Amino acid sequence: TETKAFVGFKAGVKDYKLTYYTPEYEVKDTDILAAFRVTPQPGVPPEEAGAAVAAESSTGTWTTVWTDGLTSLDRYKGRCYNIEPVAGEENQYIAYVAYPL
């Protein structure tokens, strides 16, 4: 008989912007706000680059960690709520990220 291993997800990469780019987000008085200068790699949209910064500087990680079940992603994730081009600089953007307290 053949035994098949079960994996809870399919291989591949989920876009950061699906979870961490939230242009409709309204900044709260209690949020910590940050601005990051980003230069996306060729073929990467600026929204994806900004969302990656929000993810990797808050709750996003490539590794499953034991604390994943202890906190709410929707509550604690960083949110890239705006991204705009840097004047006079090609392919450079300012990504605005809000971190809830």
Average pLDDT over residues 50-59: 90
Amino acid 64: pLDDT: 57
For the chain, the helix, strand and coil percentages under 3-state DSSP, each to the nearest 5: 25, 20, 55
58-66 long-range Cβ contacts below 8 angstroms, 24+ apart: 58/20, 58/99, 60/16, 60/19, 60/20
Please check whether the domain covering 17-99 is classified as CATH 3.30.70.150.
yes
**pTM, rounded to two decimals:** 0.77
Q: Is the pLDDT of residue 65 over 70?
A: no
Amino acid 74: pLDDT: 74
Average pLDDT over residues 2-26: 73
The residue to which tokens 């309204």 are assigned? 26
Amino acid 9: pLDDT: 45
